[in-house]
Structure 1
Amino acid sequence: MNNSRLQFSFLCIYMLCAAGIITFADGWWDTTGNEFITTFMQNYKASYGPASFQLMIRASESSAFASVKVYNTDFEVILSLQQYQTMNVQIPASAELSGSSNFNSKTVVITSTQPVSVFSINYKPYTADSSVIFPLQVLGTEYYVFTPLGRYGSPQFAVTNSNHTNNVLITLTGSVTYNGNYYQSGDTISLNLSPFETVQLQSAASLSGTRIQSQYPVAVLSGNNCYTYHTYCDIVFEQLLPVKEWGTESVISSLPGRNFEDTITIIASQTTDIFTNSGDKSNKIVLHEGGILSLSLPPTSFLEINATNGIMVIFTFTGGMLYNIESDPFIMNVIPLEIFSDSYILHTQNNFANFIHIIAKESVKHDILLDDQPLPNDLIWNSISTTEYVWADIPIEGTSTAHTVKNCSACGVYICGAEYGISLGTIALPVKIVNPVENLKASVFKGASVNVTWSSPTKGEVGYYYVQLIGSPSQNAIVTKENAVFTGLMPPNTYTVIVEAVDKYKITKSIPKSTTFFCSIPTNWCLSRPSKKCCPKADTSCRSIDRKCFCDEKCKVYGNCCDDYSMLCKGTP
């Protein structure tokens, strides 16, 4: 603890939601949903304060009503959120967990009528950290814990149950005293958790590699209540992703203005070959179930990681200089290459030195847009020499508005901030790349109309489709379904239809798909007649080429005119 620090002023690293199914079959980490559960782990000493526990709730593409409750208490806040609006909820200090114990009235439950995103800030004077909170559909039944061990503070993790009675097994890698019983490394704690019950376990030893198995999905927060390495102690925590969401490839590079080495930690869930390359040194190591590999990341360096099975990779900022400001530790998930995205959204606030840490392919670095503007020409890019990637750090002003990174053709983006004695870092959340539409077809009907249909492999991620009809006349339409109809075509003519899918946050477009069709003259039009298209007097022989309708003046009396009679013979009514 550094009592000479400035009053805390946090960087809100709230990542606007991005949608998708968070499985590596789809390659996606989802942060939007209608149901969330979380808790606030012990920050330094439970008696220390005052505490400021905050949740930031942000609406997605639709306005929403959201409820924030502390389970089994009278605390509830109802929010009315407009599209893309963010609102803060102050959670009572009494919600803080303390020690190794079970808690039946400290779980925070968030529900909403439309998808929202949730970001958590656990703050006490001079000690704070933050994390994205993942929705219920992302949670899993198998986790491995990461709890850094420093010169001070207690490694800790919390398991939060949802709305089922749930059997949970925790196989420890460090000693724990829980419910009056002493458990050693290798022991298994068997729990039967009630709906929305939370258990927090603390130790004087590292608990990294501890395995959590559950009958139904749970949320897991993990870290240290006041981790100390190079500087003063800070709470560090992240919400962990379950084993099913782990990737096999990662590239990470050092943060700017560092004067100490940081740490990259790799955890495996099964026997896995790990290949690492830092440019001047490559290595292979085999990790077994629950195995841990910690690697140093010196200033101005990088690390490429490949694995034969899914692995969890965590970046630990160990404290010291960050962006030339003395700061305390934080931890953050490392984005696997499998979920590198084309676009990201992030959000900052004032009073911090903020910067974006971006890893992108060298071939596209000049195409990247920050808030729709090209990156500075004098931006320094550093090579990750063993790959096609480069990295850069981009200062960005702290504001209360959203920032976007676009056109990076599958890149990784992190947002970090530093103030004297305080630092925060986390992933920027990707906007899912929208795949091109498939099975594009154009079917002409009634002679001068066309029905355009297609299918979308990422239907749930699409906000709308932009459809263009190129020809004479040209038209366009914005639709939300996989269908568009255009009328008023002028046969004979050739037309081209172009369809682009736009993501729900209006950030990315798919690659356009097109098809060309010929609009021929219908056989039931006056225009199909080989000569004398219109007859000014009554003439029963003045018919279309298929002889199904008439083009003489009397057809209006008998109601049997061809479809184009009014337009062609008498002018548009």
Structure 2
Amino acid sequence: MARDGIWWFLLLFCTLSSASYQGREFLAVFPQNDDESPSASLQLLLTSYGPADAQVSMALCGGSFTQNVTLRPDITTPLLLPAHLELTGSCASHKTLVVQASTDISVVAVSTKHYTVDATALLPVESLGTRYYVVTPVGNYTCGLTEFVVAAGATATAISITTTATFHYAGATYIPGAMLRLFLQPYHSLQLQSSQDFTGTLVVADNPVAVFSGHSCVKVSAAFDFVVDQLFPVAAWGRSYVVPPNPLQTDVDFIYVVTDEENTITYNTGSKHATVAMAAGEVQVFLVDRNSHLYISAVVGVQVVFFFSGSSWQDPFLLVVPPVTAHCTAFRFSSVPSQYNHAILIAPTAATATTTINHQPDNTMAWQAIPGTDFSWASITVSTTMQSTENSLVPFGFLVFGFHTRTGYGFPGLCVATPTPLSCEDLVCAERCEMVDGIPECVQETFSTCWLTGGPHHRSFDGKTFDFMGTCAYTLTTICNTDSTLPAFSVEVKKKEKENSKVSSISSITICVDNITVTAVQSENGMVREAKAIIVSTFQVILWNFTEITYLAMILRVF
């Protein structure tokens, strides 16, 4: 420890992310559907969950479009939007629609042209993340383009994209392995397109973003269609997935499994059972037919994306599969109007008899066991009288899809009840999981430290060191964005020039946590100035008294 004094600030980071489709703020974007013309019919399906009306506002950055609507409880309301919100080409734009509500709602975005349509359930802002892997199915025909969109929220965001495909942007060409770095202004989006496969492309941001992935018009065998879905961030991936057969498929479908780090997955397709090692960033593609399921169990979290390749008159769609940990005890029926709508339920075999529709038993559901697993599945045709499906005892999965003449769409079901993991085996944690009162919780075991010593010497949270000789008041650390789950805090340092020296020294430090302020001044050995009584469980101040200087260490724990 230097005799000139050292100021310590230790911050414990503890975060747990999950993906949910209920929230009060959403970012809606509409990737290019087929060719740039004709114009697309764009709409949002807004679902409220009561008990009171929900006030919903929608706005584009800059105010070129605003709209307000009142949602009745437990009703899905379609809302048409201007066609110019559709993105075209590889470019950045300000066409990110911000949807805000007074109570929790769910939002489904639908883009329709004459023979192309798809829909995606939107993640609320609090479920977004900073790290994603793109999945873009490719067909057997030269038509359309693979594409993905990155949308920034309320804060200007630095984006880095490591591509697996060749694409052109802003006059430059990027080849596989190249990295594109850029800043997105608040509520702006970036769409990139290619004639090659973007699958495996890594998107990293310094603030949470929304990422949408798909193809403007893809054909594998039977038909063409626009496909898109919003991706889960890496932090929301799971370790166990069940993908049931699709009874409408007469050929094969594709299931993409992506890992962010070295991994081992065990899979079961009914006819095959194997264990496979995967490298960081690797993508495994499984082909399944109408009689095949896929059960995945991984050592660490993976992303699973289902691509229905089309069959007869049913066109392709893309669907991000939620992990078993995202199964829940009740779902709301929400489907695209003017389509023949279907749903698939995935439940523990022992719980099929207690799974209901509109809170009533439904004897028409034909449950089928999934070989090699403890799950069963059932396919139903969705009618206008169906409002919800539920099981009060056990979480289950729910997938929605539909078709019309030469069109198709699909998205995960809208969970009404928040899923609760049952054990540490069901929860993906960055470091360690432990059971607390019968509930699995992630435990953070590491923290980062920043410090300032001797006046000019600094070390940042990411371990970088530098010297700075300024003699003003500076913010050493503070929170970047308001977060109700964290205390508001800041550490302010005042520095002055040393007598008979060209270097600076610390004259005082002020630490604010919520409404508590503590100031320590260099000349006041053994003392601190406090604006309010200190709560010891929040933070602790320790003083060391030496002949010439007081040493202060402060430890802050943020939960």
Give the 3 Å change call, closer, same or farther, for CA 24–246 of structure 1 in structure 2.
farther
Question: Partner residue of 2:59?
Answer: 69
C-alpha contact (below 8 Å) 2:342/2:379 kept by paired residues: yes
Match of 2:373 among 376, 387, 394: 387
C-alpha contact (below 8 Å) 1:153/1:233 kept by paired residues: no
Give the 3 Å change call, closer, same or farther, for CA 111–139 of structure 1 in structure 2.
same
AA at the equivalent of 2:331: Y
What displacement does 1:434 show?
A: 7.9
Give the 3 Å change call, closer, same or farther, for CA 201–254 of structure 1 in structure 2.
same
C-alpha contact (below 8 Å) 1:365/1:408 kept by paired residues: no
Counterparts of 1:489-528 in structure 2 under 5 Å? none
CA deviation string 1:67-91 (max 9, x = no partner): 1112224211111223234333322
Question: Partner residue of 1:363?
Answer: 350
Give the 3 Å change call, closer, same or farther, for CA 353–405 of structure 1 in structure 2.
farther
Secondary structure of the 2:100 match is: strand
C-alpha contact (below 8 Å) 1:70/1:95 kept by paired residues: no
Question: Partner residue of 1:149?
Answer: 138
Match of 1:416 among 379, 390, 401: 401
Match of 1:38 among 28, 31, 36: 28
What is the alpha-carbon root mean square deviation over aligned residues? 2.4
C-alpha contact (below 8 Å) 1:55/1:119 kept by paired residues: yes
Question: Partner residue of 1:329?
Answer: 316
Match of 1:87 among 46, 65, 77: 77
The answer to whether structure 1 residue 195 and structure 2 residue 182 are counterparts is no
Question: Partner residue of 2:330?
Answer: 343
Give the 3 Å change call, closer, same or farther, for CA 366–59 of structure 1 in structure 2.
closer
C-alpha contact (below 8 Å) 1:155/1:206 kept by paired residues: yes
- When normalised by structure 1's length, the TM-score is 0.68
C-alpha contact (below 8 Å) 1:147/1:223 kept by paired residues: yes
CA–CA separation in structure 1 for the residues paired with 2:15 and 2:273: 26
CA–CA separation in structure 1 for the residues paired with 2:234 and 2:414: 19
Q: Percent identity?
A: 28
CA–CA separation in structure 2 for the residues paired with 1:338 and 1:35: 23
AA at the equivalent of 1:183: Y
CA–CA separation in structure 1 for the residues paired with 2:298 and 2:438: 32
What displacement does 1:33 show?
A: 1.9
C-alpha contact (below 8 Å) 2:28/2:122 kept by paired residues: yes
CA deviation string 1:469-489 (max 9, x = no partner): xxxxxxxxxxxxxxxxxxxxx
Question: Partner residue of 1:161?
Answer: 152
CA deviation string 1:277-309 (max 9, x = no partner): 112211222222221100011112211111111
What displacement does 1:201 show?
A: 0.4
AA at the equivalent of 2:93: F
AA at the equivalent of 2:314: S
Match of 1:211 among 196, 202, 217: 202
AA at the equivalent of 2:100: T
Larger Rg: 1 or 2? 1
What displacement does 1:408 show?
A: 6.5
CA–CA separation in structure 2 for the residues paired with 1:159 and 1:348: 25
CA–CA separation in structure 2 for the residues paired with 1:136 and 1:72: 20
CA–CA separation in structure 2 for the residues paired with 1:411 and 1:25: 22
CA–CA separation in structure 2 for the residues paired with 1:176 and 1:98: 14
- When normalised by structure 2's length, the TM-score is 0.69
Larger RCO (CA under 8 A, 6+ residues apart): 2
CA–CA separation in structure 1 for the residues paired with 2:360 and 2:419: 21
The answer to whether structure 1 residue 100 and structure 2 residue 90 are counterparts is yes
CA deviation string 1:336-366 (max 9, x = no partner): 1122222222134664333221111222212
Secondary structure of the 2:354 match is: coil
Question: Partner residue of 1:230?
Answer: 221
Give the 3 Å change call, closer, same or farther, for CA 153–346 of structure 1 in structure 2.
same
Number of residue pairs matched by the alignment: 409
| Greater displacement, 422-431 / 242-251 | 422-431
Secondary structure of the 1:365 match is: helix
C-alpha contact (below 8 Å) 1:231/1:328 kept by paired residues: yes
AA at the equivalent of 2:58: V
Question: Partner residue of 2:468?
Answer: none
CA–CA separation in structure 1 for the residues paired with 2:295 and 2:237: 16
Give the 3 Å change call, closer, same or farther, for CA 424–412 of structure 1 in structure 2.
same
CA deviation string 1:435-475 (max 9, x = no partner): 79xxxxxxxxxxxxxxxxxx9989xxxxxxxxxxxxxxxxx
Give the 3 Å change call, closer, same or farther, for CA 391–81 of structure 1 in structure 2.
closer
CA–CA separation in structure 1 for the residues paired with 2:353 and 2:16: 30
AA at the equivalent of 2:403: A
Give the 3 Å change call, closer, same or farther, for CA 82–395 of structure 1 in structure 2.
closer
Counterparts of 1:340-489 in structure 2 under 5 Å? 340-348=327-335, 351-376=338-363, 379-399=365-385, 402-407=387-392, 409-432=394-417
List alignment gaps of at least 5 residues for structure 1.
1-22, 437-454, 459-573
List alignment gaps of at least 5 residues for structure 2.
1-13, 422-436, 441-559
C-alpha contact (below 8 Å) 1:343/1:432 kept by paired residues: yes
CA deviation string 1:296-347 (max 9, x = no partner): 11112211111111100011100014xxxx2110011112112222222213
